[in-house]
């Protein structure tokens, strides 16, 4: 079982800072969208029925498809890192209509890839349902096309992607389980 204290040991992309930034923004999305938070809470309650005091475990998190969809939508909207490592081109080339000279540096804005209106319907809306019931699920590894890349892509993908997804699901499920139903003094988030 992964403990909550494991979340405290990382630092920026592939790190605690990056993951906290992502999860805090994910939690803000849930506060801004109480119907999504409510649906997630109901899924959590249905899986851990009658065991309110215990932490959600890995096996239980794997039984929550809406939880996974909420995490994926959070990663699409708020990836843990904004950029990937810069790359240099080996010869003069044209990329997106721009001439890039040999040894020129190219960088990708990861957050913008997940917000491309040519790929995503209503890209700025927080809609976890886009990750449910699809014929072919969105591939976040970059092996079948890149629609989002919160952990990089291809052979340079973050080697901790499996552990990161487990931690994100575990953290979010336990936070929502612990905090849902509490009254908030916040009346409006922008």
Binding site for heme, by residue number, is 158
Q: Is the Cβ–Cβ distance between 166 and 4 less than 8 Å?
A: no
Question: What three-state secondary structure class fits 174?
Answer: helix
- Domains by residue range for the chain, with CATH: 4-82+109-179 (1.10.630.10)
Which of 113, 149, 174, 147 is closest to 13 using CA atoms? Answer: 149
For 18, phi then psi, to 5°, come to -60, -45
Sign of the alpha-carbon torsion through 158, 160, 163, 167: negative
Say what the pTM is: 0.79
- pLDDT score recorded for residue 7: 36
Residues in the chain where the model's pLDDT stays below 50 = 1-16
Could you read off the pLDDT of 76-121 as tens digits, one per residue? 999 888 777 788 999 999 988 999 999 999 887 888 989 999 999 9
> How far apart are alpha carbons 185 and 183 in whole angstroms?
7
Which amino acids are annotated as binding site, given as ranges? 158
Supply the pLDDT for residue 22.
54
Residues recorded for the chain: 190
């Amino acid at each position: 079982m992964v403990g909550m204290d494991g979340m405290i040991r990382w630092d920026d992309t592939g790190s605690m800072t990056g993951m906290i930034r992502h999860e805090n923004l994910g939690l803000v999305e849930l506060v801004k969208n109480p119907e999504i938070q409510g649906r997630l809470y109901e899924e959590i309650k249905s899986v851990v029925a009658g065991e309110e005091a215990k932490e959600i475990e890995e096996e239980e998190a794997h039984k929550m498809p809406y939880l996974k969809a909420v995490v994926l939508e959070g990663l699409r909207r708020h990836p843990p890192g904004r950029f990937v490592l810069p790359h240099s081109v080996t010869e003069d080339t044209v990329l997106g209509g721009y001439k890039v000279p040999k040894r020129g540096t190219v960088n990708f804005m990861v957050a913008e890839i997940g917000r491309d209106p040519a790929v995503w319907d209503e890209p700025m809306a927080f809609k976890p349902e886009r990750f449910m019931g699809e014929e072919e699920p969105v591939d976040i590894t970059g092996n079948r096309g890149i629609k989002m890349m919160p952990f990089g892509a291809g052979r340079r993908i973050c080697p901790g992607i499996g552990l990161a997804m487990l931690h994100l699901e575990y953290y979010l499920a336990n936070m929502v389980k612990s905090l849902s139903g509490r009254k908030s003094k916040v009346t409006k988030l922008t």
